[in-house]
Structure 1
Amino acid sequence: MEKIMLTLDDQVDEATKKMIQKLIEKKIKFDHYKNTHFFILSFFILYCLTLLFLSYTLVIKPNEYSIMNSITELLGTNYLIFLLLLGVLLFGALKFYFEKKEKTETEFHDLRCEIIEKSRDLWDGEHWANRHHVFDQMKNQYDINLYHESK
């Protein structure tokens, strides 16, 4: 984070540096939540497929002629109920991280759009040419597009 701040010393004022630093922090936070959500989603899908396979082979296949026997066997097996509850817990964590990811994405996008809209005020006359260097650094180092408002 300090690397980009060192190269911005003469190009922008303190307020702009703070805004850019906040934008970088929000991008890092958004990437963290996005990666965590993806990991939990992948694990949840793998977990559900494994649980479905176990339930089918251990409970449903031996009792395929009677639905009531299958349900009774499924509810009578303690570890399968525990595994189902663990799946519900994973789903809750997935929902929690999805909401966090959406919130941080909105905050990041709003701040990014604010910087884009105020770019004429932030980079006044003599620094207007240096604006492209800052935007290129942000794009290359942090994958933050400050040229356009679209995601």
Structure 2
Amino acid sequence: MDTPIQHLEYTDQATKQMLENVRKRKKKFDDVKKWHYISIYGTLFLTFIFSLYFYIIFVKQYSYNFISMLSAILNDSVAVYFLAFIIVGFGAMNLLKQQKEKKEKEYQELRCEIVDRSKDLWKKEEEWKNRHVVFEIMKKQYDINLYHEKK
């Protein structure tokens, strides 16, 4: 369990475990989100480089005939590798987007459950009055908003 969560006052062990779980899911979501953006920018960069390569090598020399241009592209191993990497990058983008949406859904569901069950999690009056301290720590340390259900 992470140190700031362990040292929370006015919170029982079960609630601390729920907060730790939401922290872990937020971290997984952020990691997948970061890799998704890396795959987007990597694929765009490869596409840009391939476009320049394509124009310089093929369009300038074979612009008079499409069939000869296509034949030259298929015979050039660099162009084929570029196309293969771009296709793999596009597939990775789509796969990581699906994973990102799944991780975000899991994170948001658990976060909303904590918001919904806050009256049950902080039952005692002293705990209820001081729950804002827990919410502030979660917001500052982990960027997890437990004040409202909406993102």
TM-score (norm 1): 0.94
Distance (Å, rounded) in 1 between the aligned partners of 2:6 and 2:20: 12
Q: CA deviation at 1:140?
A: 0.4
Distance (Å, rounded) in 2 between the aligned partners of 1:62 and 1:139: 59
Paired position in structure 1 for 2:138: 138
Paired position in structure 2 for 1:123: 122
Report Cα offsets for 1:56-108 as digits up to 9, x if no partner. 11011211111222112112212211221111111122222111111110000
Paired position in structure 2 for 1:26: 25
SS of residue in 2 equivalent to 1:145: coil
* Matching of residue 14 in structure 1 with residue 23 in structure 2: no
* Matching of residue 88 in structure 1 with residue 87 in structure 2: yes
**Equivalences for residues 17-96 of structure 1 within 5 A:** 17-96=16-95
What is the aligned length? 150
* Matching of residue 105 in structure 1 with residue 88 in structure 2: no
Report Cα offsets for 1:28-53 as digits up to 9, x if no partner. 11111111111111111111010111
Shift >4 Å, 4+ stretches: none
Distance (Å, rounded) in 2 between the aligned partners of 1:44 and 1:2: 36
* Equivalent AA in structure 1 for residue 7 of structure 2: T
Distance (Å, rounded) in 2 between the aligned partners of 1:26 and 1:53: 41
Distance (Å, rounded) in 1 between the aligned partners of 2:87 and 2:144: 36
> Identity of aligned pairs, percent?
36
Gaps of 5+ in 1: none
TM-score (norm 2): 0.94
